[in-house]
Amino acid sequence: MKKQLGTILSGSLIEGFLMRICAQEQFEKIKTGKFVSIVGQDYTFFSLITDLRLEVSNPDILLFPPSENESLLVNALKKRDIYATAQLKPMLMVDMKNRVMPVKTIPPHFAHVYDVDESEVALIFGDENHPEKKFFNVGTPLDMQTPVCLNLDRLTERSNGIFGKTGTGKTFITRLVLAGLIKTEKAVNLIFDMHSEYGLQARQEQANKGLSFVKGLKTLFPDKVVIFSLDPESTRRRGSMPDVVIDIPLQSIHVEDIMSLGSELNLHSTAMEAAYLIAARYKENWLVELLAHGEDIKEFASTIGAHPESIGALYRKLKRIERFPFFSFIKTKHSVIDQMMEYIDRGKHVVVEFGNHTSTFCYLLIANIITRRIHQEYMAKTEKFLGSQNIADEPKKLMITIEEAHKFLNPQAAHQTIFGTIAREMRKYYVSLLVVDQRPSGIDAEILSQIGTKIVAQLSDEKDIQGVLTGINNAQQLRGILSSLDSKKQVLLLGHAVAMPVVIETRTYDEKFYRDMGDGVAVKKLDEIINEIF
């Protein structure tokens, strides 16, 4: 039998409902973000608790509060004079035939409010045992052990975001979601792994347990994930061999890739104009020619009709590219990006490891080069499919994961980078983004409004809270929930892939999770590797 939490006293469709909490209920066990149901005559209203308040029937009671020894008086007051209320925001309603629909009416006075049960959670958020394998368990509601699932079909229809301040577990949540996509094969993933945390084992800190190691996606899915490494020595030191060592010819760097790094390089607009002049003359060899003429800048500038100081500034800023060992002056017939596309076409998931090359400049440049080329390939594939209308020509859904997303999608860069283009296209070319960031306020508001599903861990900055709620209904009620999240393992799910916003404790990334993802062979292999290393 379901447990009654309280009774509806008043409220409105816009502002939500006021619930009086049952006198026998321990107030401290009821928390903001809790998932509850209001049972009306024809509908059940599924709601979130957004605020809690202590009330008294007569303000004079507060003038002479009872002492801690006057328990009899306290119990007498609890029966009618002192009580607590909760503010509930209805998110959706279900009729007698279990049809889920938006909230368009209100429950009657004194409607009873209950804890939700397992069958109701499955009705709203789906069952991970669904035959289409489109639901993936990501956690449980507060004070419950019932799975809350993401609808992966809907998740892959739009770009998505995972947000939270440093230390809230964004990487683990991201790895969790990516594992679900890989297991169910709902989309192919391209992951720009800035700190080498997704492919192989990574470390985590646990309270009172010190350091421990967790399994990466390559270990969980050895036949489905390939590692492209910019730093193969780093990959080998961590117990594995890269599937492909990245080597990129300078001819693959376009002016647009550099233009999107204008703020990172502190390049003046005249320097960018000079880059276009060089490219107009030397085409794809523009950067090779620029780096080759470092000693005779004046003569080179006069050749292309640019100001020497602009050329000099451009040369000084881009000279650092020569220090990266994965850039070469020789263009090969079969590029590493061609290899990447071959793997993606076969349904293989690609992790691009940066190893010790963790500078923001390197990350932004490599991600721009690869993504721009792959997006061009997907545009061509989509146009071919639209022309042939042959299902065999339909491209596989591709989700690109980027960290430090505000560097790619800030108001200045969002209209210049390929990532801003992808975010605005709403997947019409079968490509979407999974953005991971600790500063959502730094992302362009238009881009934030296009993000379909948001998984939000604790945020403390008011601008970040306001930014992450851009384009969200009921933003004011959700603001209070966001500010009260725990610093670990609690997130607010909202958007396209969930039926209603809900606070969950995230699924534990542990041995049980590894077994759920596969047959346990990969787990055994990684344990052997870690034992050999340590």
Coil/strand/helix, residue 61: helix
Write out the H or E segment, with its range, that includes residue 345. helix 336-345
The pLDDT confidence band at residue 193, using thresholds 50, 70 and 90, is: very high
CB 518 within 8 A of CB 87: no
CB 287 within 8 A of CB 279: no
Coil/strand/helix, residue 238: coil
**Nearest one of 60, 46, 38 to 109, comparing CA atoms:** 38
**Nearest one of 423, 483, 426, 474 to 456, comparing CA atoms:** 483
For residue 534, the model assigns a pLDDT of 46
What is the signed CA dihedral for 349, 185, 157, 350, rounded to 10 degrees? 0
Coil/strand/helix, residue 9: strand
In this predicted model, which residue has the larger pLDDT, 524 or 334? 334
The pLDDT confidence band at residue 78, using thresholds 50, 70 and 90, is: confident
For residue 521, the model assigns a pLDDT of 46
Distance (Å, whole) CA 6 – CA 114: 7
β partners of residue 190: 350, 400
142-167 pLDDT, tens digit per residue, is: 888 999 999 999 999 999 999 999 88
Strand ranges (E), 96-209: 100-101, 112-115, 135-141, 148-151, 160-163, 188-193, 202-206
Residue type, 248: I
The pLDDT confidence band at residue 486, using thresholds 50, 70 and 90, is: confident
| Burial class of 296 by CB neighbour count within 10 A (0 to 12, 13 to 18, 19+) | exposed
Q: At what angle do helices 297-304 and 308-318 cross, to 10 degrees?
A: 120
**Helix count (H) and strand count (E) of the chain?**
21, 23
Average pLDDT value for residue range 370-390: 94
For residue 487, the model assigns a pLDDT of 82
Cα angle: 223, vertex 228, 234; to 5 degrees: 110
Give Cα 414 distance to the centre of its chain: 18
**Nearest one of 245, 262, 253, 336 to 291, comparing CA atoms:** 253
Write out the H or E segment, with its range, that includes residue 424. helix 418-425
Q: Tell me the average pLDDT of the chain.
A: 89
Distance (Å, whole) CA 494 – CA 376: 31
The pLDDT confidence band at residue 265, using thresholds 50, 70 and 90, is: confident
**Position 71 pLDDT exceeds 50:** yes
For residue 519, the model assigns a pLDDT of 44
% of residues, the chain, pLDDT over 70 = 95
First to last CA, the chain: 51
279-330 pLDDT, tens digit per residue, is: 999 999 999 999 998 778 888 888 888 888 999 999 999 999 999 999 998 8
Distance (Å, whole) CA 523 – CA 94: 42
- Give the number of residues written for the chain: 534
Distance (Å, whole) CA 27 – CA 6: 11
β partners of residue 89: 48
**Nearest one of 278, 296, 298, 277 to 287, comparing CA atoms:** 278
**Position 186 pLDDT exceeds 90:** yes
**Nearest one of 378, 446, 374, 382 to 410, comparing CA atoms:** 446
C-beta neighbour count of 191 within 10 angstroms: 27
β-strand pairing of 160-163 with 453-456? parallel
Radius of gyration of the chain (CA): 27
Distance (Å, whole) CA 255 – CA 278: 9
Q: What does the block give as tokens for 311?
A: 């050329």
Distance (Å, whole) CA 501 – CA 496: 10
Cα angle: 70, vertex 74, 80; to 5 degrees: 155
Write out the H or E segment, with its range, that includes residue 369. helix 360-388
Distance (Å, whole) CA 324 – CA 343: 25
The pLDDT confidence band at residue 210, using thresholds 50, 70 and 90, is: low
